Amino acid sequence: MFTSYMVFNNQSVGCNGMYVIAESGVVLVDTPADEDQTLQLLDTIQMKHNKKVIFCLVSHYHNDSNAGLDILKERGVETWSSKLTNKLASAHNEKLADHLFENDNISLKKNTYLHSPYVNNFCFSRFSAFIIY
């Protein structure tokens, strides 16, 4: 898990995300709340785990989960969200993932799969269970 910070109503607010280390690389669930913190997280993951982020799943349309998408795309990271998250992000002028899903399985590189049984809920729930195998 990681926490980034943003200012909301003149107060600093913590924004949680997570990453999972897989054999083929790191799977990021949500980006930090801005591009600078996204760069810091990518550098920290590389230094600490000697792996690159290869995939990012955006759980919802607010900037506390998608603010770093442009940085990730520049580095060749696959970015994904549900169709509903993408639609809401577009309507609110937020950043968009490159790939969309609507069922409950996403195939990653090298036969790694991300599965959530709750994909069809309103938006993509932050509290869904992820199984990487």
Write out pLDDT tens, residues 82-115: 888 888 899 999 999 999 877 655 555 544 444 4
**66 membership: H or E segment, kind and range:** helix 63-66
Given a contact cutoff of 8 angstroms between Cβ atoms, the answer to whether 68 and 34 are in contact is: yes
CB atoms within 10 A of CB 2: 17
Give residue limits of the domains in the chain: 2-132
pLDDT digits (tens, 9 = 90+) for 24-45: 899 999 999 999 999 999 999 9
d(CA 128, CA 122): 12
What per-residue confidence (pLDDT) applies to 71?
97
d(CA 50, CA 52): 7
Flag whether pLDDT at 68 surpasses 90. Answer: yes
The domain defined by 2-132 folds into: Metallo-beta-lactamase; Chain A (3.60.15)
